[in-house]
A and B are shown apart, each in its own frame.
Chain A
């Protein structure tokens, strides 16, 4: 289908994010690459047309993560692209192994010592194209870092989307959106460094209010021989790396993490956590003393109390990179898709053990950004209230199905849902039956999925 859909490319692809940049109701696809990136416009008939250069978002860097967001509340999807190193394919292929990983096997050196590439912010111009407003929007302040994963989220609860950028071997950035202009508050808010005050080799990020306290939390995957970070949101604009307290530090010290997603794996009403793992260096297989392998198990941390219990998805173990969520079977539990280095992707099929109820929402905003990016959904089920935001990007170079999913535990009662749209307007839909996906279109009654999609 790739060929017929017009998606075949010779680019050295890195990642992808979907978004309805032209607001026509059909999801488009932005593909990051080493060299010019690609924007595939959805033609609405199952085919796509590549228009990155003509819309001004091709760039020419080594791009990894990307996220759509309506930064300035103009109803249009803007685009942020995380870039890694200034290099070329030829330089990468001719690179010599000069560094010893953990004093043993020889590997390629970097990224430290190599020139970092600047990130890009493309603002939608309202005419179907984009303007490179990296500098205007404030993203050029400070030196570039080696950026990887990116997640759009409302970190400070002010209703507009901020951006968390996971940086490799450099402080992570949290770009706070102040009316369409951004400034990095990573260090100020506590997400730049690990609890040890160290920069980590950050790769991917999962963002959600994992503990339901009203403040977003961030799980960040890191390089091997260092634990992943768990930035617990303590208050507005304040995080604490609590990987140890969350119970993920010990189990994540060995693996090298990339993709990361929060999701309710058991439909029991709390958010579990998954990581795609795989070493960067195939050479680790040559030295058993390292205790490492190129292929590594993808991890699943089930939430227990205020923390997590470590586990894995099982076999096969591959050197994984991207991780994304989708309900492929439409049965109310998530499948977890994992891309692998030099190996076929893996789809972890959701098989909820507990007979938990669930409900899912797909947002449609005919006034603002079509997918409702930046909207905040509050679900009331009995006495419980839970919130989730409509975001884009996240994980590592991946994007998940744009659906808000709530596990309901053993409840099968109707729920009420409130949506605060990106422009601040609030709508409520009461008495929605569980165990189905609802289309919540601004100004319209809720409709079961399948009847209003793409209207």
Chain B
């Protein structure tokens, strides 16, 4: 929350500096009285005066700012938004006639960000804090507020892949979090925000580094430990497990996501009993966690003697038709326990939702054969056969691509750019949905090979294709920047290197603002 005295002082400054033509003596008098009331904490007396001012001068920025700030303190987000937008409108380059600008637009933007965040307009809030940053880069409260937004924005799961808007937001989040960490490196929140933004940017090393900073600053903060655990789970599962256990010890035991992560990390260490205990806890705290659980684990939990869990799962299955994992687990349990008709009915419904799911088809086929519905069972079997045949073909194709990839990599390593470029080009030109995780790397290596052949334009195109899939890959960004610079594309080089700096794995506060 932006502090009230700051707002009042700013308004007083605005009154002093405002052009006389823009304010009648009456308006000025009302404003001064209102400010006195505000300084005394008598808001009820101040508000009617301020409202009178904006009735007479709708674009009186200082009055609008005061009203907006008051509305923010009262969580009247829509009212606050209206006043603050008007205040900012009075402050821009094309201001309406008679407008009185606010002197601290950064503050107005920061307040507007808070209002928008309160309304649930996360992206709008982020943009507003971006503006606050632009006007007042050293305004720490706003930046910290922004880092919080960045954290939340970075947490938004996007199923649309990397759209330009998402790239922009994650970039902004990274920038804001980096700046917040530079300004307040002694506080954990900017580092947590940076870790989250880096996670959203898929820059694991940065996410891990920032989270580690946060744990160093705030060792009793479970959120910091959780972030470290999550960031390190791929590259260092041991550190991740230790961090997750620390998060638990620090009081994170009410967080289902932490229990899920613990389950995953314990399973990676092959400690299956402990993993199941963690998964069970996650389910108890949030039955929706079943949707993210590997079905053997969920199956094992459903097969145990924990009646409480079964009730939770049954309740979730009853309420959420889309909870396929939960419903499937319970259907399979029914099948195992010999409740065949119940199992067949539910599995039939699930096969309608997921017609190509081999586990559902396998169980449905068994259930149907047990009920004697042989015709339907045969049809399900045919579907299952088709699914498995497609799976085999995909595997074969994937193997071929892996082999081609290995040969291309080897050509690149020995400096045979012609062979490497040809191989990567062939791989890149023939994309395979099952092979998506490798495509970004394919394009990047094609770019490397083309750069090696002295074809910067085509190399940059390949790097661009790679970055469309992984926009924050620091190595690709650096390579693209280098090629762009050498080809004289200064602007592109600057853009790439700017993003590369944001995504750089190092998390020491930068010496200069990015």
Contacts and interface: CB of A to CB of B under 8 A. Distances in A.
Interface of A: 98, 102-103, 112-113, 171, 187-188, 190, 193, 195-199, 225, 227, 234-235, 238, 240, 242, 244-245, 249-251, 253-254, 288-292
Contacts of B271: 291
A238 B358 contact: no
Contacts of A245: 303, 336
B238 to A, nearest CB: 5
Contacts of A190: 362, 365-366
Nearest to A188: B381
Interface in B260-319: 267-273, 276, 295-296, 299-300, 303
Contact of A196 (B272, B359, B391): B359
B399 interface: yes
A188 B403 CA distance: 34
Given A187-B385, A197-B384, A253-B270, A113 B358 contact: no
A244 B400 CA distance: 35
B402 A113 contact: yes
Contacts of A112: 395, 399
Contacts of B362: 190, 193, 195-197
B370 A227 contact: no
A250 to B, nearest CB: 5
Interface string B393-412: 00100011011001000000
A291 B273 CA distance: 14
B366 A238 contact: yes
Interface string B356-389: 0111111101100110000000000100110110
B236 interface: yes
B236 A197 contact: no
A235 B368 CA distance: 13
A245 B332 CA distance: 10
Contacts of B388: 171, 187, 193, 199
Given A195-B359, A244-B303, A250 B272 contact: yes
Q: Which of B295, B300, B362 has the most CB of A within 10 A?
A: B362
A235 B332 CA distance: 17
A98 to B, nearest CB: 6
B336 A197 contact: no
B287 to A, nearest CB: 19
Given A102-B268, A234-B366, A249-B296, 11 more contacts: A113-B399, A195-B359, A195-B363, A199-B391, A238-B369, A249-B299, A250-B273, A250-B300, A253-B296, A254-B270, A290-B269
A291 B268 contact: yes
Contacts of B267: 253
Contacts of B381: 187-188
B335 interface: yes
A75 to B, nearest CB: 35
A403 to B, nearest CB: 34
A187 B403 CA distance: 30
A238 B399 CA distance: 33
Nearest to B402: A113
- Majority SS at the chain B contact face: helix
Interface string B33-56: 000000000000000000000000
Contacts of A98: 406
Interface in B317-341: 332, 335-336
A227 B399 contact: no
Contacts of B402: 113
A193 B362 CA distance: 8
A222 to B, nearest CB: 12
Contacts of B363: 195
Nearest to B384: A187
A196 B238 contact: no
A289 B236 CA distance: 8
B234 interface: yes
A240 B335 contact: yes
Contacts of B270: 225, 253-254, 290-292
A171 B362 CA distance: 13
Contacts of B303: 244-245
13 contacts: A102-B268, A112-B399, A190-B362, A190-B366, A195-B363, A196-B359, A198-B359, A199-B391, A227-B296, A240-B335, A288-B238, A289-B238, A291-B271
Q: Which 10 A-B pairs have the closest CB atoms?
A: A197-B358, A113-B399, A291-B269, A254-B270, A197-B359, A291-B270, A197-B362, A244-B299, A196-B359, A289-B238
A221 B332 CA distance: 22
B412 to A, nearest CB: 15
A187 B384 CA distance: 9
A196 B399 contact: no
B237 interface: yes
Contact of B272 (A195, A197, A251, A289): A251
B468 to A, nearest CB: 25
Contacts of B391: 199
B399 A197 contact: no
A113 B237 contact: no
A291 B336 CA distance: 31
A247 to B, nearest CB: 8
Contacts of A193: 358, 362, 388
B365 to A, nearest CB: 7
B294 to A, nearest CB: 9
Interface in B212-240: 234, 236-238
A290 B271 CA distance: 11
Given A188-B381, A249-B300, A289-B236, A196 B276 contact: no
A289 B268 CA distance: 8
Contact of B237 (A187, A188, A199, A289): A289
Nearest to B302: A244
Contacts of B358: 193, 196-198
Given A187-B381, A289-B236, A254 B272 contact: yes
Contacts of B332: 195
Contacts of A196: 295-296, 358-359, 362
A253 B273 CA distance: 10
B234 to A, nearest CB: 7
A242 B359 contact: no
Given A113-B399, A190-B362, A234-B366, A253 B384 contact: no
A171 B381 CA distance: 14
A196 B303 CA distance: 15
A103 B204 CA distance: 15
Contacts of B238: 288-289
Nearest to A192: B388
Nearest to B337: A245
A358 to B, nearest CB: 32
Contacts of A102: 268
Nearest to B298: A244
Nearest to B237: A289
A289 to B, nearest CB: 5
Contacts of A234: 366, 370
B234 A197 contact: no
